[in-house]
Structures are given as structure tokens and as C-alpha cells.
Amino acid sequence: MPAVKGSQFIGWMGLTFFVPENWDLVHAKGNRFDGYLRFDEDGVTRCEIQWTLVSAGRVILDEQVEHYLKSLEQMLKKQGKPVTIRKNIHIVSRKQVKRNVRDFMWQANTVGYGMMWFCEDCRRALVAQVVGYEHEPVKDWAKQVFLSLSDHADGDWETWSVYGLRFEAPKGWSMSKSEIMPGKIRFVFRLGEYEMVVGRYGPASVLLKDKKLEEFAVEILGKETVERFNIHYRNESLHGHDGMDLVGKDKRAKSPLHVFLRRLKTGNPFPQFRGWLWQCEQSNRVYFAFGLIAPEHEPLWEQFANSVRCHELEF
């Protein structure tokens, strides 16, 4: 994965790529089977990536490209300018991206470069396109994005990265909730009734002005978690920063009757709580990784919490 100066690394649903750092992720919809990402710069769309699962049958890529370009042409014509569309323009070669891609470009009111492909491994068909105006280096941007793009992770872990929060999550746990807003990013991953949560809040200098880290921890854990678990808070250096290590037991696990009934009902032990929370001075943010997990998930959770990057920028 080539890191380009002035670029940001994006990881989402198994996809990883670089885009220029001043492009903002403004839309992230769907799931790993059908999804869409859009990046804007000052309100202008710069890049869109879309994927869909094709679980059965053969994908005839050329047909898909034709179909897509036809609808694109109709849409562009409405802008009232003559539309030129060209196919197979070799923005990137199949060898360079190591997959069977079709590329195309258009010129109307805007200039766009696109790439479409089908991945046999994750069975997803994908389209990526980069848009700009004639005087802008749109082709270079497209090259940068397309060459860096990988559509699935090898192995059991996937890299997630948005707005300076980067971490790895196990593939089998599905992302069930994401909150992305200024000053707050939070992801929840689920496996049955178990959860792993990661996030960052900022600016730390404001959030922790009149508060100890422990008080802040209680706040972001939320009432439900605090009431459900007996949590032990311990100061600990984490990721090279001042932090807290949290260990909690489900209060119901104290009652033999509750434990018995639960085993009968679900066959599982009560989830236990694990958490790390630390203050990164360099980025002026508070990072955290929590887990409501079964005892056998402990090593998985530790790897998850360890994978969170805060101020380190090199990849």
C-alpha cells in the first residue's frame, strides 16, 4: 500500500485505500454486501465507491460497464453540456492493480475517471470513480486512489480507518453501529450478544478540563454498562499514554440462580467487561476500546484494543 504525502488512509468493510487528506468522508452507507462511500471537498463530490455482493452466477463485466455508462450518460446530459465517454483508457493497468478491471472516463460539466471490477474472492462487484473539473489533476487523483485500493483483507482481521481513528477488527464480528461526527467517532462490532466498541473523543483538553479520566470513563460507558457491571478502574500506561484499564463482572453473575438460569437459556456465561481508555496528548484526543465479551474472547479483545492507533501516522 503506497502512502502518498498529504493523503489519508481509509479502511471500511474490508476496503482499504488512500485519498487526498482534504477530502471528507460525507456518506458511508450499507453493509459489507451492499455499500457506498462518498468523499467531498468543500461540498464538491470527489470520490465515490460502491460495492455489491454477487453471490451466484457469472458476472459479465463488460455488460455491467455498458449498463453503468448508459445511465451515467443520461444523467450527465441533463447538465446540458456535450458528453464524451471513453472506455479502456488504461488509467491503471490490470497488472498494476492485480485484478481484471475495466476503466473509463467522461467529460461533460465535470471530468471523471472510473474503474469497475469483480473480485472472485469476496464476490463483490465494485465501482470507484474520482471527479473534478478540467483544470484539476483529476487523472492523478484517480490513479492514486485506484492504485492504493484493496477490496478485501487477507486473513481474519480487517483494517478500519477514518478521521485519524485506525484499528483492526476481527472479520467474524459485524459492524453494527457507527457514529462519525466532529469530536466523536465510535464503532460497535457484534457477535451474537457480545460487543466490541472502539472510539475516540476530542478535544481532550476540553473534555478533561474539570474531569478526571475515571469520571470521563464512567460518562462514556453510559449508565446501562455502569449499572450492569461491577467495574474496577486501574491507572495504567496504554499505547505510551496515561490511561485506565477496566475490568468488570456482570452483577448477575454473583447470583447462582441467575447463572444457572442463563446457562439453561443460552448455554453461555454472562459477558464480562474489559476496557482500555487513554489520553493521547499529541492528537489531543481520548481513545477507548471496550469489550462485552465471553472469557474466550479475551485474547481477541486484547488484539483489538492493541491495534488502535492514536498519534502514530506512519503506516
Binding site for Zn ion (CB under 5 A): 119, 121-122, 151-152, 280, 310-311
Facing residues of 114 across strands? 104, 129
SS3 content of the chain, % helix, strand, coil (to 5): 25, 45, 30
Distance CA 134, CA 46 (A): 13
Amino acid at 105: M
Smallest distance from Zn ion to CB 279, Å: 8
Distance CA 26, CA 38 (A): 6
Nearer to Zn ion, 99 or 297 (CB): 99
Smallest distance from Zn ion to CB 311, Å: 3
Smallest distance from Zn ion to CB 265, Å: 39
Nearer to Zn ion, 8 or 283 (CB): 283
Distance CA 47, CA 242 (A): 38
Nearer to Zn ion, 204 or 294 (CB): 204
Nearer to Zn ion, 79 or 237 (CB): 237
Smallest distance from Zn ion to CB 120, Å: 8
Nearer to Zn ion, 143 or 152 (CB): 152
Sheet holding 272-280, edge to edge: 174-181, 184-191, 194-201, 285-293, 272-280, 241-250, 229-238
Residue 5 makes CB contacts below 8 A (sequence gap 6+) with none
Smallest distance from Zn ion to CB 125, Å: 10
